[in-house]
């Protein structure tokens, strides 16, 4: 059943005006780094080399890498669902989201030269996704040129000594999987539209197709690739694509029949994970890292630091604590519980009840992705009735939104708070719940235009990882999100997550202070005391350079 964890500290709503004023004053010197921490220089944190993500031999190893996803970076691709979803209506698309994905960051044509960015920083691994819609733009029609493209990218990575980690499914589909223009799918599944996960006839076909795609990639790339991630942030993705409808295919079930409409989608998605896991294991024959396993297969989870809240204050009211625990359970735990145990809690009551054939034990490692801390309230029964809770997400405020621990922790572009110790909280929680499962931070980062803030987020994340490792939590690496600025899904191009900034006029990439700092750490295999003193700790961060209303965006206004 649900478990309770003590809450962290947070400033009260009453202090907000003062905090906002402080944030504004600090913005005057927004391009400067915060002053070094007073007191003695903290000790350096040395890193062993990269190792296996799943074998016992990989314990104690550590990867320093960067991550990206195909749709977010690659040049225009009319075969993806994001293309038709965001293409303006007068051009025949649905005009959804903040911007048309278009050429994203031209990461397809520049793929090989972009390897130099990883090399310059001395990173030892790159996590990226292969675009399914490029490989299979039409059902069962494989594009060999696209396979050859990723082949060349893999060769370039291997030659540079950079371990590839391939994500199979990162928030995008070929249009024919679930056409966002025809979500009612009236005629039933056809080759042009399989009707997507959760559809009674189409769901099983989609699962089969994803497994075939996985087998093809493992067969072609397995000699150079050991590390595979099947799914990226399953719960988050499904919430956006099938819950709120803000991602393609744009189906919104969250406020309707959650159990009847949303849970079948989740069931199919996790069945697809199991099928893909088995397909990769069967088809991958090369043991590139020599750990005795041809393929180390995991998935990446979005884990947030949920805090019980009421009326904009941290709360210890049992209703809110219960709501917080249910939120942590469905968001942070449900997917992993299901994949390890093979049974889904289909009525979300805290106990598994539905057998998912072929799913039990299909997880060699768990990717953890941490971006934010947020409040959850149980007051008034909640906007998610089945779970009787209301979280503070996307600026929607029904009393669950909390003031950031410090105003500089607000990430205005994303309307949430990035609180570094939240990473420690989720890692220790997951380490305790799944002690035998190796963890790796496959994403963490910040949307900011201030290089010093990115440097701070990197150094502080590594400090929090170290705290967790010191307790024995088996964390095997850190991948910064992202290698360079890109298409941030429904948010468009405004949030900038890159170690390298992208000039969207010329597509030139330029290093931020984040790239310099991560590079220094990776090349020296140490987070030095000097870097910690300059960027680490729990002091306020360098303020964001943008709008004064920034802080307000984290308060649900
Ligand atoms: C994660 C996604 C990734 C990126 C970051 C900012 O949820 O996995 O693609 O959008 O957020």
The token duo for 71 is 């749709």
**Could you tell me if the CB of 449 is within 6 A of ligand 1?**
no
Strands (E), 378-461: 390-391, 410-411, 416-417, 439-444
Atom of ligand 1 nearest to the CA of 445: 6
Is residue 18 within 8 Å of 12, Cβ to Cβ? no
Q: What's the CA-to-centroid distance between 443 and ligand 1, angstroms?
A: 8
For residue 57, what is the DSSP state? Answer: G
Q: What's the CA-to-centroid distance between 494 and ligand 1, angstroms?
A: 14
Q: What's the CA-to-centroid distance between 489 and ligand 1, angstroms?
A: 8
d(CA 402, CA 408): 14
Looking at ligand 1, which residue's alpha carbon is closest to its atom 5?
A: 481
Atom of ligand 1 nearest to the CA of 233: 8
Looking at ligand 1, which residue's alpha carbon is closest to its atom 4?
A: 488
Q: What's the CA-to-centroid distance between 290 and ligand 1, angstroms?
A: 30
Among residues 345, 422, 290, the alpha carbon closest in space to that of 10 is found at: 422
pLDDT above 90 (res 31) = no
Q: What's the CA-to-centroid distance between 13 and ligand 1, angstroms?
A: 29
pLDDT of 439: 99
Strands (E), 44-131: 45-46, 63-67, 125-129
Classify residue 401 by burial, with Cβ atoms within 10 Å: 0-12, 13-18, 19+.
buried
User: pLDDT (tens digit, 9 = 90+) per residue, 250-292?
Assistant: 999 877 788 899 999 999 999 999 999 999 999 998 898 899 9
Looking at residues 471-486, what average pLDDT do you find? 98
**Could you tell me if the CB of 210 is within 6 A of ligand 1?**
no
* Alpha carbon separation from 486 to 124, 185, 482, 498, 499 (Å, rounded): 22, 32, 8, 7, 11
* Count of CA atoms in the C-beta half-sphere (13 A) of 490: 16
Instruction: Report CA torsion sign: 243, 245, 248, 251.
Output: positive
pLDDT above 60 (res 26) = no
- Cβ burial 349-385 (10 Å sphere, 16+ → b, else e): eeebeeebeebeebbbbbbbbbbbbbbbbbbeebbbe
The token duo for 224 is 């150079």
Atom of ligand 1 nearest to the CA of 171: 9
Is residue 114 within 8 Å of 108, Cβ to Cβ? no
* Count of CA atoms in the C-beta half-sphere (13 A) of 97: 30
d(CA 130, CA 220): 12
pLDDT of 549: 58
Atom of ligand 1 nearest to the CA of 69: 9
Q: What's the CA-to-centroid distance between 68 and ligand 1, angstroms?
A: 9
Give the phi and the psi of residue 31 in degrees, each rounded to 5. -85, 0
Give the Cβ contact number of residue 517 at 10 Å.
Answer: 25
Which residue would you say has higher pLDDT here, 28 or 497? 497
Q: What's the CA-to-centroid distance between 353 and ligand 1, angstroms?
A: 31
Collapsed DSSP state (helix, strand, coil) of residue 528: coil
**Could you tell me if the CB of 443 is within 6 A of ligand 1?**
yes
Looking at residues 124-145, what average pLDDT do you find? 98
Is residue 213 within 8 Å of 207, Cβ to Cβ? no
Atom of ligand 1 nearest to the CA of 489: 10
Looking at residues 495-522, what average pLDDT do you find? 98
Atom of ligand 1 nearest to the CA of 232: 8
**Could you tell me if the CB of 302 is within 6 A of ligand 1?**
yes
Q: How many helices (H) and strands (E) does the chain have?
A: 15, 20
**Most ligand 1 atoms within 8 A of CB, residue of 99, 229, 488, 499 to mutate:** 488
User: pLDDT (tens digit, 9 = 90+) per residue, 59-105?
Assistant: 999 999 999 999 999 999 999 999 999 999 999 999 999 999 999 99
The token duo for 39 is 């007191």
pLDDT of 258: 83
Is residue 431 within 8 Å of 14, Cβ to Cβ? no
**Most ligand 1 atoms within 8 A of CB, residue of 128, 370, 443, 491 to mutate:** 443
Helices within 350-499 (DSSP H only): 421-433, 451-470
Q: What's the CA-to-centroid distance between 69 and ligand 1, angstroms?
A: 8
Among residues 268, 473, 272, 440, the alpha carbon closest in space to that of 364 is found at: 440
**Could you tell me if the CB of 481 is within 6 A of ligand 1?**
yes
Atom of ligand 1 nearest to the CA of 236: 7
Length, in residues, of the chain: 557
User: pLDDT (tens digit, 9 = 90+) per residue, 165-184?
Assistant: 999 999 999 999 999 999 99
Q: What's the CA-to-centroid distance between 380 and ligand 1, angstroms?
A: 31
369 forms bridges with which residues in the sheet? 302, 443
d(CA 269, CA 392): 25
Give the phi and the psi of residue 386 in degrees, each rounded to 5. -55, -35
129 forms bridges with which residues in the sheet? 167
**Most ligand 1 atoms within 8 A of CB, residue of 167, 368, 369 to mutate:** 369
Lowest mean per-residue pLDDT among 16-30, 289-303, 336-350: 16-30
Helices within 128-262 (DSSP H only): 132-135, 144-159, 202-221, 234-238
pLDDT above 80 (res 207) = yes
Give the phi and the psi of residue 367 in degrees, each rounded to 5. -85, 130
**Could you tell me if the CB of 488 is within 6 A of ligand 1?**
yes
End-to-end Cα, the chain, rounded Å:
34
């Amino acid at each position: 059943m649900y478990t309770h964890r003590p809450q962290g500290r947070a400033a009260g709503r009453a202090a907000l005006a003062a905090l906002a004023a402080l944030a504004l004053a600090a913005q005057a010197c927004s391009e400067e780094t915060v002053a070094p921490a007073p007191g003695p220089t903290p000790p350096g944190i040395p890193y062993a080399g990269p190792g296996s993500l799943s074998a016992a031999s990989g314990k104690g190893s550590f990867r320093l890498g960067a991550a990206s996803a195909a749709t977010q970076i690659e040049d225009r691709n009319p075969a993806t669902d994001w293309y038709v979803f965001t293409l303006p209506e007068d051009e025949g698309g649905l005009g959804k989201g903040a911007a048309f994905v278009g050429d994203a960051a031209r990461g397809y044509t520049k793929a090989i030269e972009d390897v130099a960015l990883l090399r310059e920083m001395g990173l030892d691994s790159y996590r990226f996704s292969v675009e399914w819609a490029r490989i299979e733009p039409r059902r069962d029609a494989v594009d060999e040129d696209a396979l050859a493209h990723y082949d060349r990218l893999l060769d370039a990575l291997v030659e540079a000594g950079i371990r590839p980690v391939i994500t199979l499914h990162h928030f995008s589909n070929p249009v024919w999987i679930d056409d966002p223009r025809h979500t009612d799918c009236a005629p039933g599944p056809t080759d042009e539209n399989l009707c997507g996960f959760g559809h009674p006839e189409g769901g099983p076909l989609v699962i089969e197709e994803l497994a075939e795609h996985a087998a093809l990639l493992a067969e072609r790339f397995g000699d150079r690739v050991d590390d595979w991630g099947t799914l990226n942030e399953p719960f988050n993705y499904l919430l956006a694509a099938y819950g709120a409808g803000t991602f393609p295919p744009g189906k919104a079930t969250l406020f309707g029949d959650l159990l009847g409409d949303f849970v079948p989608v989740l069931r199919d998605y996790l069945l697809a994970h199991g099928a893909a896991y088995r397909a990769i294991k069967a088809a991958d024959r090369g043991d590139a890292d020599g750990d005795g396993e041809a393929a180390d297969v995991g998935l990446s989870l979005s884990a947030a630091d949920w805090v019980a809240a009421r009326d904009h204050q941290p709360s210890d009211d049992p209703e809110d604590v219960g709501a917080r625990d249910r939120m942590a359970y469905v968001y942070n735990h449900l997917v992993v519980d299901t994949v390890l145990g093979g049974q889904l809690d289909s009525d979300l009551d805290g106990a598994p009840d539905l057998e998912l054939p072929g799913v039990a034990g299909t997880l060699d490692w768990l990717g953890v992705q941490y971006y934010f801390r947020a409040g959850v309230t149980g007051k008034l029964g909640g906007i998610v009735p089945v779970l009787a809770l209301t979280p503070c997400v996307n600026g929607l405020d029904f009393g669950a939104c909390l003031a950031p621990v410090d105003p500089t922790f607000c990430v205005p572009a994303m309307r949430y708070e990035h609180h570094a110790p939240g990473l420690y909280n989720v890692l220790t929680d997951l380490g305790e719940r799944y002690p035998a499962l190796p963890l790796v931070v496959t994403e963490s980062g910040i949307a900011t235009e201030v290089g010093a803030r990115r440097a701070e987020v990197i150094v502080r994340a590594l400090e929090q990882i170290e705290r967790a490792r010191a307790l024995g939590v088996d964390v095997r690496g850190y991948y910064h999100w992202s290698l360079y600025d890109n298409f941030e899904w429904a948010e468009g191009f405004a949030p900038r997550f890159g170690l390298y900034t992208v000039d969207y006029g010329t597509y030139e990439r330029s290093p931020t202070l984040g790239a310099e700092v991560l590079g220094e750490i990776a090349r020296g295999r140490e987070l030095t005391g000097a870097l910690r003193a300059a960027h680490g700790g729990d002091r306020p961060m360098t303020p964001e350079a943008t709008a004064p209303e920034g802080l307000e965006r984290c308060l649900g206004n």
